[in-house]
Structure 1
């Protein structure tokens, strides 16, 4: 299963031509895609029109949904963050730490376009669907 990050969904809904969007297009119907609750919030809160909001929620409703965080995962995410800080890496957004921890914990592959996930790949084995060449 592949969890698609908001960085890719936002590009997708803006019709951006990125390698991650092209990969997402190719995955529809071929691989199980997952929408996380916090990812849905990040995408949906930025939508201005009611029509687009309904369109995106209909698309998201067609995928499996997962809750990103619970107490145990919050503790693991904090541990990951602390390890990265000790080696001089600061992740900019707490939500990204939580998303990475959920993927690592559940063995999900992450499709993203956000550099904050790179340290999780290198130091914690986060599996990603696309890596920059």
Structure 2
């Protein structure tokens, strides 16, 4: 549980795979200047090992404004290593994550975040995000959150 220490240089040196959530991609694409935006930019510049999964691909591509933007988003997100869903078991585990949080009085707003967290937990990778749902999930599960340096 919690954040994995280390800046971009440490992450690159360890060869650590980072799962980048759609919320982090949005911060980067909008150029918000937030710590998450800066971290995504640094990870891309350092050619760190970035990962995605099917729900993240869906969320990112859904935001395409036109065909050109869609092509750019596809190159960006599909240039990452794919951590595929494992079928029904991932969905069942995601439902268990949701119930665990709910029993603890924590409201996870979007079930897809439980699915993405399940992928990160099962793949033993840190998740880079800008979505408070993941902070809640990390309080009650083995989800590791990537350090944004903030």
TM-score of the aligned structures, taking structure 2 as reference length = 0.81
Shift of 1:5: 0.3
RMSD of aligned Cα (Å): 1.7
Q: Which runs of 5+ in 2 are unaligned?
A: 1-16
Shift of 1:24: 1.1
Shift of 1:127: 0.7
Match of 2:116 in 1: 99
Higher relative contact order (CA 8 A, sep 6+): 2
Aligned length: 133
Aligned pair partner of 2:28 in 12, 25, 31: 12
2: distance between equivalents of 1:30 and 1:54?
21
Q: Which runs of 5+ in 1 are unaligned?
A: none
Instruction: Pick which of 58-67 and 34-43 moved more.
Output: 58-67
Change (3 A) 1:94 1:69: farther
1: distance between equivalents of 2:130 and 2:85?
18
Contact 1:36 1:65 in 2 (8 A): yes
Contact 1:121 1:128 in 2 (8 A): yes
